[in-house]
Amino acid sequence: MRRRELSEIAKRSEEELRLSRAAAERHALAFERLMASFDRHEQAFERREQALDRQGKAFDRQEKAFERHEKAFERVMASLDRHEAQHGDLKVFIRDMNRRSEKVINDLLRGNREFCKELTAKTDSKAEAIMAELKDLREESQAQRQALLNLIDRLPPPQAA
- Using alpha carbons, select from 154, 32, 43 the residue that is nearest to residue 51: 43
Q: Three-class SS of residue 1?
A: coil
Q: What gap in Å lies between CA 110 and CA 102, rounded to an integer?
A: 12
Residue 2 has pLDDT above 80, yes or no: no
> 157 — alpha (psi -120 to 50), left (phi > 0) or beta?
beta
**Helix, strand, or coil (residue 157):** coil
Average pLDDT, the chain: 88
Q: Is 92 in a helix, a strand, or coil?
A: helix
pLDDT digits (tens, 9 = 90+) for 101-126: 999 999 999 999 999 888 888 888 88
Q: Tell me the pLDDT tens digit for each residue of 25-42.
A: 999 999 999 999 999 999
**Confidence check: pLDDT of 161 > 70:** no
